[in-house]
Amino acid sequence: MAKVAFIGLGVMGYPMAGHLKVKGGHEVAVYNRTFAKAEKWAAEFGGTAFRTPAEAAKDADFVFTCVGNDDDLRSVTTASDGVIEGMKPGATLIDNTTASAEVARELDAACKAKGLHFIDAPVSGGQAGAENGVLTVMCGGEEAAFEKARPVIDAYARMVGRMGEAGAGQLAKMVNQICVAGVVQGLAEAIHFGKQAGLDMEAVIEVISKGAAGSWQMDNRHKTMIAGKYDFGFAIDWMRKDLDIVLSEARRNGAKLPTTALIDQFYGDVQDMGGNRWDTSSLLARLERK
């Protein structure tokens, strides 16, 4: 059992922290910007709620962060009451936020200056993956620190892998989001085409999902897409934040992402339709609008 702190109890962090307590058997302290939510978590799982990130991180062997973006991450890590200020020498900061590779490298340097370890560990699998403890975790950081942290991360993951040095986890998550955007757009167009052609798309999907066209998105989203329901997971606002990180990194490294850039614009169209909180499969709604 380890002493663990978890910072950020959103739709992902809340169940992830719960798995660290229940499945991992760790002693867990929590912090959330809305203190009432931290208190709720502590009452539900038997942990301890704190009013600042630094207080939650004190004496922890591993400190997890899962917040919104780069700025949120800096506010809970490098600010005067951030976790780095409260962490003991030799402890490890594990960041589950989907953020830039640049901020990951910043935090790695800040941790090293304080005698701490850092792992950028963005996750894939959405809210359902977090709730069921079956997330995929892409990690960047020193190998020794990763191997020490891996058994703790396993509490909320089904797959954990080290991609390289600090920042590599975030870059791998960018690769993941490029793939997801392309697959969802392809599935949206396929369902739209099939419906326009008068096909029974349930019957079509049942057949083609067993062939080369099959994917997680097809298995898990085709029914809700056909029904025109888009309240099942990762919101468009979050996806656009992620794709902005992807496209910014591509401008830095020279990668050409014409399809990803176009799909990002399509998601912007869905936002204009009022679909900010619809899940990413709502690209179909854009094709079906009158």
H-only helix segments in the chain: 13-22, 35-45, 53-57, 70-77, 83-86, 101-113, 126-132, 143-153, 168-196, 201-208, 216-226, 236-253, 258-272, 283-288
Is 173 an annotated catalytic residue? yes
Is residue 56 exposed (0-12), middle (13-18) or buried (19+ Cβ within 10 Å)? Answer: buried
Q: What's the Cα-to-Cα distance from 122 to each of 10, 19, 83, 195, rounded to whole Å? A: 14, 17, 18, 36
Residue of 95, 147, 100 lying closest to 122 (CA atoms)? 95
Catalytic residue among 114, 173, 241, 290: 173
- 8 Å CB contact between 70 and 95: no
Cα–Cα distance measured from residue 121 to residue 104, given in angstroms and rounded to the nearest whole number: 9
Cα–Cα distance measured from residue 49 to residue 56, given in angstroms and rounded to the nearest whole number: 7
Cα–Cα distance measured from residue 118 to residue 123, given in angstroms and rounded to the nearest whole number: 16
Q: What's the Cα-to-Cα distance from 240 to each of 124, 194, 245, rounded to whole Å? A: 15, 27, 9
Active site residues: 173
